[in-house]
Amino acid sequence: MTRVLRLAVSLALLLLAWEGLVLMTGVPHFILPAPHRIAAAFAARFDLLAAHAVITATEILLGLVLGVSAGGLLALTLTASRRVRGWLLPLVIASQAIPVFAIAPLLVLWLGYGLASKVAMAALIIFFPVTVALFEGLRRTDTGWIDLARTMTAGGNAAGWRVMLYLRLPAALPAFGAGLRVAAAVTPIGAVIGEWVGSSGGLGYLMLHANARMQVDLMFAALLVLAVMALALYLAVDRLLNRVLPWAADTTIPATSR
């Protein structure tokens, strides 16, 4: 069986079990709608779901780009300067003690109900894992490689940047890739949290309003669209990293099954 076929079979079995559970227990549809009701709501409100999905997808992609860029830049700065690292690293770590739900209302207050606050929230939630992943990769470069590179260069400040660009950074890319995979998985969480706190559109906004109107089937349909978007983003990032970093292959997979 291929991976796609296994996934399809697993989903089919899950949906059948769900449908059977609802049928046997007689649970009200406003508590747990059956899959056929969710499918009907998806078909009937496809235009509405698509419009809100575009908003959330835009927030997710912009937040991912902003968070990865900011986290990567900070990781490079922390690695390049010991003095800056002594000041900034404790602040970055301490910032993670603040729950993201506590920051979301402030972002809405400062940036408004539009796109900016949701992008900022999505970027904020992935900023730390990206920074830590790249920083750890940069600081764990083999010391033998660094000594050899410094011996072969002319020395001076320029040599330090050459070591960073041609040695440390390529060696850190697999660790950075792990941070990107985490970012791809959690960026949708940040966007939806921002929409829940205050927004005028998006799948999170739609889910809140559907729940308030007891349209639970529509809420599940929006949740399904969000899950598909998040899975597609993760798979796209994972496939891109596998192409860009062919030397960082998964050694837990036998060569014959790849």
Global pTM reads 0.86
At 158, the pLDDT band (50, 70, 90 cuts) reads: very low
Query: What is the C-alpha separation between 81 and 227, in angstroms, rounded?
Result: 40
Of all residues in the chain, the percent with pLDDT exceeding 90 is 50
Specify whether the CB–CB gap between 193 and 100 falls below 8 A: yes
At 252, the pLDDT band (50, 70, 90 cuts) reads: low
List the one residue out of 120, 95, 125 whose CA is nearest residue 109.
Answer: 120
Query: What is the C-alpha separation between 176 and 135, in angstroms, rounded?
Result: 8
Q: Which domains does the chain have, with CATH numbers?
A: 38-247 (1.10.3720.10)
List the one residue out of 109, 126, 20 whose CA is nearest residue 63.
Answer: 126
Q: Which residue has the higher pLDDT, 2 or 131?
A: 131
Three-state DSSP at 200 gives coil
pLDDT in tens, 22-56: 889 888 888 889 999 999 999 999 999 999 999 99
pLDDT in tens, 71-114: 999 999 998 888 888 888 888 888 888 888 888 888 988 998 88
- Residue 181 in this model has a pLDDT that exceeds 70: yes
Which residue type is seen at 146? I
Mean model confidence pLDDT for the chain: 86
Which pair of structure tokens corresponds to residue 198?
Answer: 């205050």
Rounded to 5°, the CA angle 219-223-228 comes to 150
Residues 6+ apart with CB under 8 A from 253: none
Which residue type is seen at 23? L
pLDDT of residue 166: 76
Query: What is the C-alpha separation between 113 and 201, in angstroms, rounded?
Result: 9
Residues 6+ apart with CB under 8 A from 1: 9
| Residue 241, φ and ψ in degrees, nearest 5 | -65, -35
Q: Once rounded to an integer, what is the mean pLDDT over residues 186-202?
A: 91
